[in-house]
A and B are shown apart, each in its own frame.
Chain A
Amino acid sequence: MAKTRTQTIGAVRRTFSPWTDATATPLIRFENVVKRFGAFTAVNNVSLDIYEREFFALLGPSGCGKTTLMRMLAGFEDPTEGRITLAGQDLSGVPPYRRPVNMMFQSYALFPHMSVADNIAFGPKQAGMAKADIDARVEEMLTLVKLESFAKRKPHQLSGGQRQRVALARSLATRPKVLLLDEPLGALDKKLREETQFELMDLQMELGMTFLIVTHDQEEAMTVADRIAVMNHGVLVQVDPPAAIYEQPATKYVADFIGDVNIVECVVDGCFGGDLRLSTPITPHPLQIAQGDAGGVKTGDKVWLAIRPEKLRISLEAPDAAAGNCFAGEIFDIGYLGDLSVYHVELPCGTRIKVSQPNLSRMVERPISWEDKVYVTFTPHAGVVLSR
């Protein structure tokens, strides 16, 4: 039963991409939204469309404006400029208690003087539902978050994970159009957090609701979201599905914020065909890089080459001259993580390059060790050329 459900969810998720459909109308629209607190601009001219049934993540470091953006949607802050619409309705001037948007707070904000059942019933009661309906809804929500036997407990009698579930059940109880999740898993330990991420995804599909999550944890955003908006200093830097954010970062900032990356400053030597030839002070040989999306760069431009550590190959033997791009260096440090090892390779000029290799075999004849001379190679498609 659970298996079939997961399969459906997977199938639905694979084909879900309304943002590529020009005829689709977004559920939530931020239109040139600006929010200033005194002289400080928290959110700077953000325009963003979020579609129905989408699981959307706002990702960025603390203080980047992602929480402010979410709080404006919930109604706790008013935009200084611009407007926010929900299902075509302008939300300006609509108080939080009249918005069909519910929020799950980072601190959970459970009412300490109410039982779990009363906490969940709070929203439906405010909506003026009949007593019998409220009871049924509470029952349904408790089943949904698997806390049936905890209805009479007070929040302080629950574990962190259970509180998180109550908070989730409470914010879902009124069936809002949009559920806002403010760092919802921040207080949970790693294992529970990972489990809960998948549960959240299943729940979101099952309920067919739109989820907007705010997080500073890039793994969390990558796992749960259909699309991620990376924010920095109040500006949207890139809005794309997780794979595009990771493999096609728009800027150095995004490349660096999401995952591990080596960023090498280069100068464009020439363009021919689909390739760029880059020269960089860290190696005497020019680098051949497939141009990809970084169009518009011309000979003489200063650019940055971003290469993920897992896209590099490391070996003890010198590669063929024709093998492509190559750095020669020495192992400076090794991080053994079990499933993979991270090697820090120091180049003659002092620059260090991170390379990660999966540990595919249990026995290796001659493992790479400290101070080994090694060769780091990569294909023209391994890296991305960024102009900013």
Chain B
Amino acid sequence: MATAGEKGIGRLFVIAVPYLWLLVLFLVPFLIVLKISLSQDVIAQPPYAPLLDLSQGWAGFVDFLSQLNFDNYVYVLDWNNEFLDAYGSSLIIAAVSTVLLLLVGYPIAYAMARAPRTLQPTLLMLVILPFWTSFLIRVYAWIGILSQDGLLNQALQALGLIDAPLEILNTDLAVYIGIVYSYLPFMVLPLYAALEKLDGTLLEAAEDLGCPPMRAFWLVTFPLSLPGVAAGCLLCFIPAVGEFVIPDLLGGSDTLMIGKSLWTEFTVNRSWTASSAVAVLLLIVLVVPIVIYQNIQARQLEAGK
């Protein structure tokens, strides 16, 4: 028998592992980025100041704090510097993509959940299969499909549906196609999980009480799948806002997304401090939907099932 003390240590250890993980791999890096965002650019190694020098003791720490300021935030939040436009456009692109993902993903998840039990593992496998190839390579592949003389235009021309090739690559449309394609599993899987555990007798009960199947879908299936809808939408929306690879490879020069702006700020303008401020603001923007999601989840937990 373990004593109360041993039990306490064991419990502490189990709880400590995830907390330590979050502390070391999330909180500490975040604090570093936050600190850089409050610093100034200098031509040095590292390219920002002030640096925390603990050899000076308490006075040095106070001196360090007094040198931090919000100049970078003022810069990023200035309307003339396009960052606000990039935030706005990222949110819009992510929101539209999420709606498209829901429209494409829901029928897929529904069909999977309604498929014969024996077939479901295979279908699940097929949804996950794209992950076996690198994300970058799959996005590159879309260049070959969507470009002027790409597969899609060749096929459409061969079928006689269009005379001149469509300009898809390097437009927002290509970004939407890329996001919907890449994020589809993140939408389908939570939806499938929600729909799969839906009790079929609920639909029979609805039908029995005089409700035709189509209406039963909207009155029973859809409301009960809302936790899956919420999870899927957030899993797609949050990374899509900060997406960099897809707009960079498939989008045009006028496709404005915050991930791209951050990249430019960091690599072209070489401003670690301003790009850190962009990142911190992006995080704040994204914390809002995450908090909303957690609220929904808490309410779901409270509701029992």
Contact = CB atoms under 8 A, between A and B. Distances in A.
Interface of A: 74-76, 95-98, 101-103, 105, 107, 109-113, 122-123, 126-127, 154, 156, 170-171, 174
A109 B201 contact: yes
Interface in B12-52: none
A105 B207 CA distance: 12
B212 interface: yes
Contacts of A113: 223-224
B209 A112 contact: no
Contacts of B207: 75-76, 95-97
A111 B220 contact: yes
B5 to A, nearest CB: 39
A102 B303 contact: no
15 contacts: A75-B207, A76-B204, A95-B207, A103-B208, A105-B201, A109-B199, A111-B202, A111-B205, A111-B206, A112-B304, A112-B305, A123-B209, A123-B210, A156-B304, A156-B305
B285 interface: no
Contacts of A109: 199, 201-202, 204-205
Contacts of A103: 204-205, 208
A102 B208 contact: yes
A174 B224 contact: no
A327 B85 CA distance: 101
Most chain B beta-carbon neighbours within 10 Å: one of A126, A156, A170, A174: A126
Contacts of A95: 207, 212
B208 A97 contact: yes
Interface string B202-239: 10111111111101000110011000000000000000
A95 B206 CA distance: 12
Contacts of B304: 112, 154, 156
Nearest to B224: A113
A111 B305 CA distance: 11
Contacts of B223: 113
A101 B220 CA distance: 20
B212 A97 contact: yes
Nearest 5 CB-CB pairings of A with B: A156-B304, A126-B210, A123-B209, A109-B205, A109-B201
A21 to B, nearest CB: 31
Contact of A174 (B210, B212, B215, B219): B210
B210 A107 contact: no
Most chain A beta-carbon neighbours within 10 Å: one of B201, B213, B304: B201
A122 B206 contact: yes
A337 to B, nearest CB: 37
Contacts of B209: 97, 102, 122-123, 126, 170-171, 174
Given A107-B199, A112-B304, A126-B215, 11 more contacts: A76-B208, A95-B207, A96-B208, A105-B204, A111-B202, A112-B303, A122-B219, A156-B303, A156-B305, A170-B209, A171-B208
Most chain B beta-carbon neighbours within 10 Å: one of A76, A122, A127: A122
A103 B304 CA distance: 25
Nearest to A122: B209
Contacts of A122: 206, 209, 211, 219
A109 B209 CA distance: 12
A354 to B, nearest CB: 40
A107 B220 contact: no
A324 to B, nearest CB: 55
Contacts of A156: 303-305
A257 to B, nearest CB: 27
Contacts of B213: 97
Contacts of B224: 112-113
Nearest to B212: A97
Contacts of A174: 209-210
Nearest to A126: B210
Contacts of B305: 112, 156
Contacts of A101: 208
A97 B211 contact: yes
A59 to B, nearest CB: 22
Contacts of A76: 204, 207-208
A105 B303 contact: no
Interface string B290-305: 0000000000000111
A107 B201 contact: yes
B208 A74 contact: yes
Interface in B253-305: 303-305
A107 B204 CA distance: 12
A327 B212 CA distance: 64
Given A105-B201, A107-B199, A113-B223, A97 B210 contact: yes
A112 B201 CA distance: 12
Nearest to A74: B208
Contacts of B204: 76, 96, 103, 105, 109
A109 B303 CA distance: 17
Contacts of A112: 224, 303-305
Contacts of B210: 97-98, 123, 126-127, 174
Contact of B205 (A98, A105, A127): A105
A123 to B, nearest CB: 4
A104 B121 CA distance: 33
B199 A126 contact: no
B92 to A, nearest CB: 31
A76 B207 CA distance: 9
A285 to B, nearest CB: 57
A165 B89 CA distance: 53
A165 B199 CA distance: 20
A127 B211 CA distance: 8
A200 to B, nearest CB: 19
Contacts of A105: 201, 204-205
